[in-house]
Amino acid sequence: MEQYAIKGGNPLVGDVEIGGAKNAALPILAASAMTDETVYIENMPDVRDTKVLLDAMQSIGVMIKSTGRHSVILNAGNINSLTVDSEGIKKIRASYYLLGALLGKYKHAEVALPGGCDIGCRAIDQHIKGFRALGADVSIRHGLIRATAERLTGSHIYMDVVSVGATINVMMAAAMAEGMTIIENAAKEPHVVDLANFLNSMGANIKGAGTDVIRIKGVSRLHGTEYTIIPDQIEAGTFMFAAAVTKGDVTVKNVIPKHLESITAKLREIGCEVEEADDCIRVVASKPLRHTQVKTLPYPGFPTDMQPQITVALAMSRGTSIVTESIFENRFKYVDELTRMGANIKVEGNTAIIDGVEKYTGASISAPDLRAGAALVIAALAAEGDTIMDAIKYIERGYEDFHVKLQGLGAQIEVVQTEKDFQKFKLKTG
Ligand code: EPZ
């Protein structure tokens, strides 16, 4: 079993190149199945979730050709099944994007119920409500969601909660429905906008993505396109917080600073210097970090996917901080692991009350999910001594070459397989 061996104590220093956004790539890949023509995608992150989705698409007859580590060509002209039930697909959340994409184009789809990170109840009622409003019949049977319609017709849909997944799914299905669909209370995340831009580049007619109200005028066919995925906001934010926690000086390159505003604001509030340029951001942490309060919110609020990373920073800051998680109800599971490293955090419901400590100490820990796993790595990089971390497969779901990029910033981190490897790592790193 692969583990990370980490020796803490080195400030991270240098430049790191940020890859394409996982949460934009997933719906964009699914939406590529909405045309019979060829689609070229650039800046694809090479992470496990995108691989699983590509495998699932291949299993229903989508032709997929990789033309480099970060570029792929897809052609869905010869799809031979509208049922997606491969073993891997059950493990990822984004499986349900094939539902919206296939329903939009073929008016029928059956997809295994989605999995994904265990961060709380992840309802799909808004997806179902949206598909039904467009005229689809939706049922769940034998672990599959089935959506089918003779024809899809545009509708006025009010989302009861702001949901990235439901906004994206309904947008895809509505792109090929007859007439106008209006989604109210839509999610505004950069990846929602990226998908709308991608669909528009295929001939869709979507306006308002990035605001609360998205208007979609259905078209009867979509054509091939060439498209470059936006940079990953959360990967960038993770490295920015890694700089803060390790008292380092890191420049994240190939980013869109606008997408990182809530993260930049919090870093400044806790005492970091943040310099923005056109497509890069430098974070310097030369002073002790200060406490603050933060509540996760849909974009443009502070992202839930950055909640563990900011908690790791605040737990090593002066004073008492409060972190409120308002999106997922079970996203503090990593606090037990952080406590092993010396953090002083009390979780009450969806709130963490954090009394900052001077330092972390290395420990034997486990990554409970993708973002929490990355956050614990950051804690280990700042800790005194060695850490061994299990379940790093979660981190590989969404971070490409995480440990390699960290090594490039001076981190002492390696993938090890056995206790003997860990002992060797300890000897080597002193
Ligand atoms: C997406 O999940 C991301 N996943 C998550 O990233 C991210 O944490 C989340 O959006 C919020 O930004 C992907 O893009 C693949 P939601 P999603 O629908 O779409 C409730 C990561 O680490 N809800 O916006 O599943 C839901 O329970 C992952 O990269 C309903 O009630 O999130 C939650 O409380 C983890 N009914 C809230 O809305 C629904 O039908 C937001 O969920 C749908 C959602």
Confidence of residue 13 (pLDDT cuts 50, 70, 90): very high
Q: b vs e for 258-281, b when ≥16 Cβ sit within 10 Å of the residue's Cβ?
A: ebbebbbebbeebbbebeeeeebb
Q: Which of 22, 23, 26, 99 to mutate to test the pocket of ligand 1 (most atoms within 8 A of CB)?
A: 23
pLDDT of residue 87: 75
262's CB contacts (< 8 A; 6+ apart) are 300, 301, 302, 303
Task: Give me 332's structure tokens.
Answer: 């503090």
C-alpha 22/C-alpha 169 separation (Å) is 16
pLDDT of residue 94: 83
* Each residue's pLDDT tens digit, 189-204: 999 999 999 999 999 9
**Arithmetic mean of pLDDT over the chain:** 95
Angstrom CA distances, 218 to 175, 229, 249, 264, 382, stand at 5, 23, 48, 38, 51
**Could you give the count of Cα atoms lying within 13 Å of 79 in the half-sphere of its Cβ?**
24
Q: How far is CA 228 from the centre of its chain?
A: 17
Q: Is the predicted pLDDT of residue 86 greater than 80, yes or no?
A: no
Closest Cα to atom 5 of ligand 1? 305
pLDDT of residue 117: 61
Q: What are phi and psi of 75, to 5 degrees?
A: -140, 120
pLDDT of residue 88: 74
pLDDT of residue 143: 82
As a whole number, mean pLDDT of residues 9-17 equals 97
Tell which atom from ligand 1 comes closest to the C-alpha of 168: 19
Active site residue 117: yes
C-alpha 283/C-alpha 265 separation (Å) is 12
Closest Cα to atom 31 of ligand 1? 123
Q: Is the predicted pLDDT of residue 246 greater than 90, yes or no?
A: yes
Q: What are phi and psi of 290, to 5 degrees?
A: -105, 160
Tell which atom from ligand 1 comes closest to the C-alpha of 126: 40
Q: Which of 50, 164, 195 to mutate to test the pocket of ligand 1 (most atoms within 8 A of CB)?
A: 164
* Each residue's pLDDT tens digit, 60-70: 999 999 999 99
Q: Is the predicted pLDDT of residue 5 greater than 90, yes or no?
A: yes
Q: How far is CA 151 from the centre of its chain?
A: 33
* Catalytic residue, candidates 117, 121, 272, 280: 117
* Each residue's pLDDT tens digit, 324-333: 999 998 899 9
Task: Give me 335's structure tokens.
Answer: 């606090």
Number of neighbours of residue 422 by Cβ within 10 angstroms: 18
C-alpha 426/C-alpha 430 separation (Å) is 6
Beta strands per DSSP E along 1-127? 3-7, 13-17, 38-42, 63-68, 71-75, 83-84, 108-112
Closest Cα to atom 21 of ligand 1? 305
pLDDT of residue 315: 98
* Contact status, residue 167 vs residue 214, Cβ threshold 8 Å: yes
pLDDT of residue 116: 60
Task: Give me 12's structure tokens.
Answer: 């991270």
Q: Which of 122, 309, 400 to mutate to test the pocket of ligand 1 (most atoms within 8 A of CB)?
A: 122
C-alpha 338/C-alpha 346 separation (Å) is 11
Amino acid identity, position 126: Q
Q: How far is the CA of 122 from the centre of ligand 1 (A)?
A: 7
pLDDT of residue 92: 81
As a whole number, mean pLDDT of residues 226-249 equals 98
Q: Is the predicted pLDDT of residue 89 greater than 90, yes or no?
A: no
Tell which atom from ligand 1 comes closest to the C-alpha of 92: 15
> Measured between alpha carbons, how far apart are the two ends of the chain, in Å?
24
Q: Percent of the chain scored above 70 by pLDDT? A: 98
Tell which atom from ligand 1 comes closest to the C-alpha of 303: 12
Q: How far is the CA of 330 from the centre of ligand 1 (A)?
A: 13
Q: How far is the CA of 385 from the centre of ligand 1 (A)?
A: 36
346's CB contacts (< 8 A; 6+ apart) are 352, 353
Closest Cα to atom 16 of ligand 1? 163
Q: How far is the CA of 227 from the centre of ligand 1 (A)?
A: 24
Q: Is the predicted pLDDT of residue 352 greater than 90, yes or no?
A: yes
Amino acid identity, position 396: E
pLDDT of residue 115: 66
CA dihedral 295, 391, 419, 406 (to 10 degrees): -60
Q: Considering the entire predicted model, what is its pTM?
A: 0.97
Tell which atom from ligand 1 comes closest to the C-alpha of 161: 38
pLDDT of residue 18: 98
pLDDT of residue 91: 75
C-alpha 343/C-alpha 356 separation (Å) is 7
Amino acid identity, position 383: A
Residues with CB under 6 A from ligand 1: 23, 26, 93-94, 117, 121-127, 161, 163-166, 187, 304-305, 327-328, 370-371, 398
As a whole number, mean pLDDT of residues 259-284 equals 98
C-alpha 160/C-alpha 145 separation (Å) is 21
C-alpha 336/C-alpha 294 separation (Å) is 20
